[in-house]
Amino acid sequence: MKFGGTSVADIERIRNVGRHVKREVDAGHDVAVVVSAMAGKTNELVAWCREASPLHDAREYDAVVASGEQVTAGLLAVVLQNMGLNARSWLGWQLPILTSHAHGAARILDINGEEIVKRFGERKEVAVIAGFQGIHKETGRITTLGRGGSDTSAVAVAATIRADRCDIYTDVDGVYTTDPRVVPKARRLDKVAFEEMLELASLGAKVLQVRSVELGMVHKVKIFVRSSFEKPEDIDPHGTPPGTLICDEEDIVEQQVVTGIAFSKDEAQISIRRVQDKPGVAAAIFGPLAEANINVDMIVQNVSADGKTTDLTFTVPAGDYQRSMDVIGKAKETIGFERLDGAADVAKVSVIGIGMRSHAGVAAQAFKALADRNINIRAITTSEIKFSVLIDAAYTELAVRTLHGLYGLDKA
C-alpha cells in the first residue's frame, strides 16, 4: 500500500491511512506500506536548501529532503500501534534500498525485503517504509529518487517481497480517459495495460510516475490506483473497490482501440530554416542539445526540393526553450542555417491505445476531426500504440474534447 502526500497531510489523514491499513490486516493480509512526506513538506525542505545556499552539495540536499518521509513513516507506525497493530518504521538505509549515486535522481539497484517477510511470519508486523529514498552502498550516503519517487519505491518493494498487488492510494479514484477537469464526461478506466500507462504517464497524465510503471512492467507487479479519501470502513477488503488496475495486456479481455487522451502544454517548438541537406547536420544540431541535457521530443524534417537545403522542426520542454535557442544559435557556423524560428505557445495532444496495432485509420480520423474544427497541426509523431500532434496551445481543450468524443471515450 502506498500513500501520497495529500493522503498523509496531517495527523487526522494519517489516522485515516491507519484505518485503511487495519482493514487489510484484519482481512488476513501481510501489509507493507510506503509513505510520502506530508503535502508541501518536500517543497519546504527544498526551499530551505536553496535559502541556505543557491549552490548546495547534492548529498546534503538528499539528507535534508529525505527527512520528510522519515517523519511520516514514524507517525504512521505510532498511529498503527495505537490501533493495536504490530508495526514499525523503516528508512531506506535500514532495509536497505540500494541505489545509484545520482543524488536527487537515484535509481534503485536492489532491495533486501527478507527482514520484512520474516517479521510478517513471526509477528504479523506491518512494515511502514519511507518512500523516495535509499542509500548508496559504496559511500553510505542517503539518496533520493526524484519527484514521484515514492511510487517507484512502492512498486520496487512490492516486487521484492512478491506482493500480490501494489495499491497506490492517491487523491483520485483511478486513471481516467483524460483529465476530467477538461472533459467532465471522462470515464474511469477499470484496466490499463502497462504499455498504455507508460505512454499516458510520460505524455502528461500525472497519476503515476513513469519509472514506477516501468518497474511494474519489468517485474510483473500489478498496480492498483485507488482513492485514499473513501471511507475505509465502507470498503469490502475481499471485493474489488473502485480504481484502475494496471496490468499485462493479456489480462485485459475487451481491448478498446483508444484507451485515453493525454496532453501537455509544457512544450516549445523550434524550427531551423534552410539547413544544408548533407550527412552530419542532424548530429550537429542534436549533439549540442544532448550535451546540454535538453530532451528533444518530436522531430520533423522536410524533404528538400532542391537537394541542397531543408527545414528541420523539433520540440523541447517549455522550460528549456530559451536555453535551446541559445545552444543552436552558438552552433550556427557548424550547422549552417539561414534562420531560427521558435514558439512557446504550443501543446502536444496524444492518443493512446494498444488496440491501434490492429486497427487502420485511427490517426486519419483524428486529423479530419481536428481539421473540421480548424485546428492546425504543426507536427505529428507516431508509434505502434500512440500518435501525438503538436498544435497551438489555445486549442488544447477543444482538441482534447473533440478527440475524446470522436473515439467514444465518454460512453461506457
Q: Is the pLDDT of residue 12 over 90?
A: yes
Condensed to tens digits (0 to 9), the pLDDT of residues 319-333 reads 999 999 999 999 998
Name the pLDDT band for 98 (thresholds 50, 70, 90).
Answer: very high
Mean pLDDT score, 349-376: 93
Residue 412 has what pLDDT? Answer: 62
Q: Is the pLDDT of residue 302 over 70?
A: yes
Q: Is the pLDDT of residue 379 over 80?
A: yes
Q: Is the pLDDT of residue 253 over 90?
A: no
Mean pLDDT of all residues in the chain? 93
Residue 4 has what pLDDT? Answer: 93
Q: Is the domain 261-406 a CATH 3.30.2130.10 member? A: yes
Question: How many CB atoms lie under 10 A from the CB of residue 412?
Answer: 4
Mean pLDDT score, 101-113: 94
Residue 79 has what pLDDT? Answer: 98
* Cell triple for 226: 485507488
Q: Which residue ranges make up each domain of the chain?
A: 2-249, 261-406
Name the pLDDT band for 334 (thresholds 50, 70, 90).
Answer: confident
Residue 250 has what pLDDT? Answer: 87
Q: Is the pLDDT of residue 236 over 90?
A: no
Measure Cα distances from 394 to 260, 314, 348, 397, 398 in Å: 21, 19, 11, 8, 8
Q: Is the pLDDT of residue 204 over 80?
A: no
Name the pLDDT band for 411 (thresholds 50, 70, 90).
Answer: confident
Name the pLDDT band for 238 (thresholds 50, 70, 90).
Answer: confident
The percent of residues in the chain predicted with pLDDT above 70, rounded, is 100
Q: Is the pLDDT of residue 287 over 80?
A: yes
Question: How many CB atoms lie under 10 A from the CB of residue 112?
Answer: 12
Residue 148 has what pLDDT? Answer: 83
Distance CA(181)–CA(195), nearest Å, equals 24
Residue 206 makes CB contacts below 8 A (sequence gap 6+) with none
Q: Is the pLDDT of residue 187 over 90?
A: yes
Nearest to 90 by CA among 114, 107, 122, 61: 114
Q: What are the start-end ranges of the E strands in 145-285?
A: 166-170, 191-193, 223-227, 244-247, 260-276
Do the domains 261-406 and 2-249 match in fold?
no
Residue 256 has what pLDDT? Answer: 82
Condensed to tens digits (0 to 9), the pLDDT of residues 381-394 reads 888 999 999 999 99
Residue 84 has what pLDDT? Answer: 97
Residue 306 has what pLDDT? Answer: 76
Residue 315 has what pLDDT? Answer: 94
CATH number of the domain located at residue range(s) 2-249 in this protein: 3.40.1160.10
Indicate the pTM of the whole model: 0.87
Measure Cα distances from 407 to 72, 190, 198 in Å: 43, 17, 20
Q: Is the pLDDT of residue 348 over 90?
A: yes
Q: Lowest-confidence range among 16-20, 180-184, 252-256, 359-363?
A: 252-256
Condensed to tens digits (0 to 9), the pLDDT of residues 128-181 reads 999 999 999 999 999 999 888 999 999 999 999 999 999 999 988 999 999 998
Q: Are 88 and 77 in contact (CB under 8 A)?
A: yes
Q: Is the pLDDT of residue 258 over 90?
A: yes
Residue 325 has what pLDDT? Answer: 96
State the residue for C-alpha cell 518536500. Answer: 42
Mean pLDDT score, 216-236: 91
Q: Residue 399, class by beta-carbon neighbours within 10 Å (0-12 exposed, 13-18 middle, 19+ buried)?
A: buried
